[in-house]
Amino acid sequence: MNIGLGSKRKTILLIDADPHARAALRNALEASGFTVGEAASGREGERTALRIKPDAILADLMLETVDAGGVVAAKLKDTGSRIPIYIVSNATDALVGSVGLHELGISGVFLKPGDPAVIIQTLKTRLGMQ
């Protein structure tokens, strides 16, 4: 991939306990020109986000604890972070966690398994890569 001078690859952090789900999304994101970081838990996701400073985060809503994705978002928001955070979850999880997502700093919800093309287009639009 040829990236012009002065342009920077955007970094996406994937937070999901399912290694297969992370691998599938990572492959699609990397093929579209993103750099990808990964975390298997909310706690690991918090540490990784602070270390790699991603441009956006895709987090499973239901990680090791109920609403762990929302907790990660709330903690990052408390640090003053403006990183867009998207929840990737199944329909039941999304409905249960939908109340107050905006207040937590959640930018949107993708239903699992998620269409990589839709996720990538959303990220590119949000991150000004069009």
All structural domains of the chain, each given as residue ranges with its CATH number in brackets, are 11-126 (3.40.50.2300)
pLDDT band for position 104 (cuts 50, 70, 90)? low
Greatest mean pLDDT among 79-83, 91-95, 107-111: 107-111
At 8-28, the pLDDT tens digits run: 899 999 999 889 989 999 999
Q: Kindly write down the DSSP assignment for every residue of the chain, as one continuous string.
A: ----TT----EEEEE-S-HHHHHHHHHHHHHTT-EEEEESSHHHHHHHHHHH--SEEEEESSSSSTTHHHHHHHHHHHTT----EEEEE-HHHHHHH-TTTGGGTEEEEEETT--HHHHHHHHHHHTT--
Answer whether residue 5 shows pLDDT above 80.
no
At 43-61, the pLDDT tens digits run: 898 889 889 999 999 988 6
pTM for this entry = 0.78
